[in-house]
Amino acid sequence: MRGNMNEDDERQTREALRQSVSPIDAELRRDLWPAVLRKIDTHPAAIPWYDWALIGASCAVFVSFPQMILVFAYHL
């Protein structure tokens, strides 16, 4: 469905898009993997206290109500 757009409008739209979007450089200027490894080494992942509390509460629920494991697994 093209609507009421004539060829001139379509050409103007294409030209406006071409001018507004910069060309994509497909080649990376450098390898990003070493930078990722450096960032991982300098900023180790810290687990916040509320994650530990959530894990503990989940374990307590699963020990108290084993059928909840199936309910939890169903929703994953």
- Does a structural domain hold residue 71? yes
Between CA 66 and CA 76 the distance in angstroms is: 17
50-73 pLDDT, tens digit per residue, is 999 999 999 999 999 999 899 989
Q: Which domain holds residue 60?
A: 47-76
Is residue 1 a part of any domain in this protein? no
N residues, the chain: 76
Residue 17 resides in a domain: no
| Assigned domain for 54 exists | yes
Is residue 69 included in any domain, yes or no?
Answer: yes
pTM: 0.42
Whether 59 is in a domain gets the answer: yes
Nearest CA to 57 among 41, 72, 35? 72
Number of domains in the chain: 1
68 lies in some domain: yes
1 pLDDT more than 70: no
pLDDT in tens, 21-48: 877 766 767 788 888 888 888 877 788 9
7: left (phi over 0), alpha (psi -120 to 50) or beta: alpha
3-state SS, residue 18: helix
> Between helices 67-74 and 49-64, what is the axis angle to 10°?
120
